[in-house]
C-alpha cells in the first residue's frame, strides 16, 4: 500500500504547517485523528481521505453527521480535486494539491452563514425608520 503525504495548513490556529506521511488521513475530534478538529459538532471520527490509483477520495464515516463537499452531503465516497471545499462542523477544509502531497488548508467559520437576503433591496434601507416618541426615549428604572 503506498504511503502518501498530506500537508495540513491551520489558518485557525497559530501553528506551522504539518506534513503527515500516512496511508490515509482520519478527520475528527479524537486525539488519534491525523486532522484533529476540536468542536462539539464534529464527530469523534467523522471522515477519512485516502488515495486510490491517481486520485484522492473523501469517505464519510458518520452518516448521521454528514460531511459536506462543495455544498452537498457526502453519502459514501467522493473524488477530491483542487479547489474543493469540505465542511466538517464549523471547519472549512480547502483542498489543494502539489506533485508530492495533498494540501489541506483549515479555517473555522463560527457565526458565519451565507444569507439569501439581497442587500441591494430598497426595503432594507434605514431611510424609513422613525424616531421613537418621548415616552419610549426615557429609560425605565432598574429597581
pLDDT for the residue 52 = 87
pTM of the entire structure?
Answer: 0.74
Residue position matching grid coordinates 432598574 = 142
Beta bridge partners of 47: 27, 60
Question: Which pLDDT score is estimated for 49?
Answer: 96
Instruction: Please state which of the ranges 24-33, 54-63, 115-124 shows the lowest mean pLDDT.
Output: 115-124
Backbone φ and ψ for 124, nearest 5 degrees, come out as -95, 5
pLDDT of residue 110: 79
What is the grid cell recorded at 74? 457526502
**How far does CA 5 lie from the centroid of its chain?**
21
pLDDT on residue 53: 82
**pLDDT at residue 129 in the model:** 64
Nearest to 21 by CA among 9, 7, 35: 7
- The pLDDT, as a whole number, for residue 104 is 97
Residue 134: pLDDT above 70?
Answer: no
Average pLDDT, the chain: 86
**Mean pLDDT lowest among 90-94, 105-109, 119-123, 134-138:** 134-138
Give the residue from 54, 58, 29 showing the smallest Cα distance to 41.
29
Amino acid at each position: 500500500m503506498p504511503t502518501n503525504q498530506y500537508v495540513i495548513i491551520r489558518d485557525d490556529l497559530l501553528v506551522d504547517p504539518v506534513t503527515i506521511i500516512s496511508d490515509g488521513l482520519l478527520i475528527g475530534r479524537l486525539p488519534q485523528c491525523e486532522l484533529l478538529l476540536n468542536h462539539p459538532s464534529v464527530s469523534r471520527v467523522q471522515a477519512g481521505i485516502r488515495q486510490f490509483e491517481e486520485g484522492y477520495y473523501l469517505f464519510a464515516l458518520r452518516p448521521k453527521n454528514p460531511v459536506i463537499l462543495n455544498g452537498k452531503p457526502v453519502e459514501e465516497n467522493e473524488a477530491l480535486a483542487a479547489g474543493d471545499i469540505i465542511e466538517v462542523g464549523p471547519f472549512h477544509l480547502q483542498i489543494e494539491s502539489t506533485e508530492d502531497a495533498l494540501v489541506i488548508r483549515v479555517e473555522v467559520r463560527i457565526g458565519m452563514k451565507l444569507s439569501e437576503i439581497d442587500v441591494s433591496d430598497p426595503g432594507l434601507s434605514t431611510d424609513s425608520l422613525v424616531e421613537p416618541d418621548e415616552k419610549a426615549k426615557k429609560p425605565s428604572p432598574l429597581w
